[in-house]
Amino acid sequence: MPTVTALITGASSGIGEVFAELCAQDRTNLILVARSQDKLQALADRLRQAHGIQTLVIPTDLSQVGAAQRLFDQITSAGWTVDQLFNNAGFGSMGYFEELPIEKHAELLQVNVIALTELTRLFLPAMVTRKSGQILNVASTASFQPGPNACVYYASKAYVRYFSEGLQEELAGTGVTVTCLAPGPTRTNFSEVAAMTQTPVFRYNSMDVRDVAAIGYRALCRGKTLVVPGLANKLLQLSSKFSHWGIVKKVMKHVMQPLPPRGTAPRSESSR
């Protein structure tokens, strides 16, 4: 059986960490990417010992311009071939658009949009040449409607979904598939660093991270284009599609509360 190698960004925790565990269980070699070298190395050591796979750890901050190209060059120089690309890294921020630092907006777009696009562009040609490859991009149920009080994050995830669905159709017949995982609120540290823990959407409707990752992984293996985990999230997707757009925006503004009045408190600066 041919050896398969997966590249997973944002692999040090949350959905990315579970992706790594699921891949390792299938004897897939791993290239693990995130900012924290210690967490990545501990994960790599654990999975290598448990499953007898090969691992490559590359600490990388994808919010830095040019990081995707440098990552590609390191992997290529090390002689590794990527068969599965998990574009999982991403982060969010909550606050009034004009009060959040512009640098944070730029970092969010660099990670959620630019790095994802660049990594796909860099690794895709070899997959097409081999007529084999799988790409999984992590979007969100945020991709189905605007998100007042977190508008840049919501817009970035809409890009990921449309990009993934369009590219999947473009690649029909090549042997390469693109899967878009669009989870709703998930019990990871994401909501804490994005200052969204107390919003209604996270307080009352969140899924276990292992369930979300397993659904995404199965969708990748089957070549499914779009997967929305959980019944409540599927209903949200449908309601956004068929509801009056003005009402949808007002509802989303409500669920992305609480925020203090403008100018009364510093805003969160979230991290991956």
Which active-site residues does the annotation give? 153
| DSSP, residue by residue, 218-250 | HHHHHT-SEE--SHHHHHHHHHHHHS-HHHHHH
Beta partners for 251? none
- 104, 148 contact by CB (below 8 A): no
Q: 3-class SS at 214?
A: helix
Angle at Cα 44 formed by Cα 39 and Cα 47, nearest 5°?
125
CA–CA gap between residue 72 and residue 65 (Å, rounded) = 13
Q: Which residue carries 């995130």 as its tokens?
A: 34
Angle at Cα 142 formed by Cα 136 and Cα 143, nearest 5°?
60
User: What are 234's two structure tokens?
Assistant: 């599927």
- 102, 266 contact by CB (below 8 A): no
Among 69, 119, 66, 65, which residue's Cα sits nearest to residue 89? Answer: 119
CA–CA gap between residue 82 and residue 123 (Å, rounded) = 7
> What torsion do the CA atoms of 119, 120, 125, 131 make, to the nearest 10 degrees?
130
